[in-house]
Amino acid sequence: MLPHPRPLRSLLVIATAFLSGGLVLANPLSAGAAGPVDAAKALAAPDLPGANNWSCKPSAAHPRPVVLVHGTFANGTVNWLSDAPILASRGYCVFALTYGAKAGVPVLRAIAPVADSAAQLATFVDGVLAATGTSQVDIVGHSQGGMMPRYYLKFLGGAGKVHTLVGLAPSNHGTTLNGLAILAQAFPGAIDVLNSACPACGDQTIGSSLLARLNSGGDTVPGVAYTVISTRYDEVVTPYSSQFLSGGGTHNVTLQNLCAVDLSEHAAMAFDPIVLHETENALDPAHATKSTCLSHG
């Protein structure tokens, strides 16, 4: 996204979606008797153009469905208002969930413990696979949504079900929140308060036990292709270099190396056409083209 007041555009999109009154958030499945497709439908992000067509069958050109995973405090509908319809128009079967509700907390999602959210992702992926008749999906995740699927891959049997994971500004090694997380660790009880209010926030702070377990033994699992796309102007997952992965099958990209004048910050990564173009390169590397300032997804 070329120069603009960085946070404003993304915040306006989010605010408009909430204030329109048309946004209904998905609830976690309460009954365990449903089949895999019904269980996934209960998690599906509602009213998202281009997404969650349960009769969609992948084509030879795009043989795997794409699962979109939103970030902290957001939901699948708001986070993917831009990317979902574009990917669908390009012939992808696109699916998006809303996950991570916490009892007693309205509206905000992706705040439950990361491990719990990863279990919801596992349920959703199983439903997508059953509905589409495929054996693998590709995942595109923003912020927590780029890191949390790695828990699914490593601990919940997801490695064989995922071909590609694309993380947009993912919290792979935690965040200092521009130093606030480190400051909080200096005050007894501060992290406990954070964990109580937003367990996922605590899980994503640098040095958390969740991240220590996730990254122990290596960042990646064999057989999965990883792409990370980061921005130097990220003010949420800091330092931005902490987002990068090491290990086999990884491709780390800094947005400003593709377009030096792109000023997109953390939230804008889900709305940036250059980021989307590079995402599509990761999803379909056989037909990849160079991402530049003129790329439009």
Cα–Cα nearest to 274, from 283, 284, 264, 285: 264
One pLDDT digit (tens) per residue for the chain, 297 residues: 554 434 434 433 333 333 333 343 444 444 345 799 999 999 999 999 999 999 999 999 999 999 999 999 999 999 999 999 999 999 999 999 999 999 998 899 999 999 999 999 999 999 999 999 999 999 999 999 999 999 999 999 999 999 999 999 999 999 988 765 665 566 677 667 677 889 999 999 999 999 999 999 999 999 999 999 999 999 999 999 999 999 988 999 999 999 999 999 999 999 999 999 999 999 999 999 999 999 987
Integer Cα distance of 13 and 32 in angstroms: 35
| Residue ranges of domains in the chain | 6-28+63-287
Continuous segment of H or E residues that includes residue 283: helix 273-283
Residue 249 is predicted with a pLDDT of: 85
Cα–Cα nearest to 222, from 162, 286, 166, 140: 162
Residue 33 is predicted with a pLDDT of: 54
Residue 182 is predicted with a pLDDT of: 62
Whether the ω angle into residue 199 lies within 30 degrees of 0, i.e. cis, is no
Residue 15 is predicted with a pLDDT of: 37
List, in order, residues 6 or more apart from 86 with CB less than 8 Å away: 50, 276, 297
288's tokens: 């990849």
Strand partners for 97? 44
Residue 45 is predicted with a pLDDT of: 98
> 244-275: per-residue pLDDT in tens?
999 988 999 999 999 999 999 999 999 999 99
Q: Running DSSP on this structure, what letter comes out for residue 64?
A: S
Residue 248 is predicted with a pLDDT of: 83
List, in order, residues 6 or more apart from 232 with CB less than 8 Å away: 240, 254, 255, 256
pTM for the whole structure: 0.88
Residue 26 is predicted with a pLDDT of: 43
CATH 3.40.50.1820, applies to 6-28+63-287: yes
